[in-house]
Amino acid sequence: MDALLADVIVIIHLIVVIFMIGGVLGVLIGWPLGWRWIRNPWWRCAHIAIMGYIAFNAIRGELCFLTIWEADLRRDAGQIDADDLSFIGRVFRDMLYVEVPQKTLDVIYLVVAGLVLASVLLVRPEFRSRSRKPD
């Protein structure tokens, strides 16, 4: 069961990474093209909150809780080497994790956080107030 949960976590982790990178690209591409969805406040708040967590961890030198949780589950499942992983686990881990020093990743996270912050300032979310209909 631990191995299955670890596979699920690595898939969720990859979805979060795609959401973060795709979100920044979506805003930067959609802004000049006038895409309305990039101003959705729920989506933008989720995007900046997740990026804030990632940047905070980068500054502290900490790993993401998903990385830690997955590693703990894999250890508990006896998946010490890459050969011990399921096919799905191996494929998604290979897509998610790259051989780059953590310090380099932390710099990348902070640069992306800067882009997310700039995108919020340049392309503001639209918070619409609900107006009452006249009686």
Q: What is the pLDDT of residues 11-27, one digit of tens each?
A: 999 999 999 999 999 99
CA 121 – CA 48 distance, rounded (Å) = 11
Which of 43, 58, 47 shows the shortest CA–CA distance to 17?
Answer: 47
Identify whether 98 is part of a domain. Answer: yes
Say what the pLDDT of residue 109 is.
92
Do the Cβ atoms of 39 and 124 come closer than 8 Å? yes
Do the Cβ atoms of 16 and 66 come closer than 8 Å? yes
* Strand, helix or coil for residue 8: helix
Identify whether 129 is part of a domain. Answer: no
pLDDT tens digits along 107-126: 999 999 999 999 999 999 98
CA 13 – CA 70 distance, rounded (Å) = 9
Say what the pLDDT of residue 86 is.
87
Identify whether 64 is part of a domain. Answer: yes
Identify whether 95 is part of a domain. Answer: yes
Say what the pLDDT of residue 83 is.
76
Identify whether 135 is part of a domain. Answer: no
Q: Band of the pLDDT at 134, cuts 50, 70, 90?
A: low
Instruction: Enumerate the H helices of the chain as residue ranges.
Output: 2-33, 41-60, 65-76, 87-96, 102-122
The count of domains in the chain is 1
Q: How many residues does the chain have?
A: 135
Identify whether 26 is part of a domain. Answer: yes
Identify whether 131 is part of a domain. Answer: no
Identify whether 99 is part of a domain. Answer: yes
Say what the pLDDT of residue 80 is.
79
- Residue 27 belongs to domain spanning: 2-122
CA 90 – CA 10 distance, rounded (Å) = 10
Those residues whose C-beta lies under 8 Å from the C-beta of residue 59, and which sit 6 or more positions away, are: 106, 110
Question: Chain-centre distance of CA 86, in angstroms?
Answer: 23
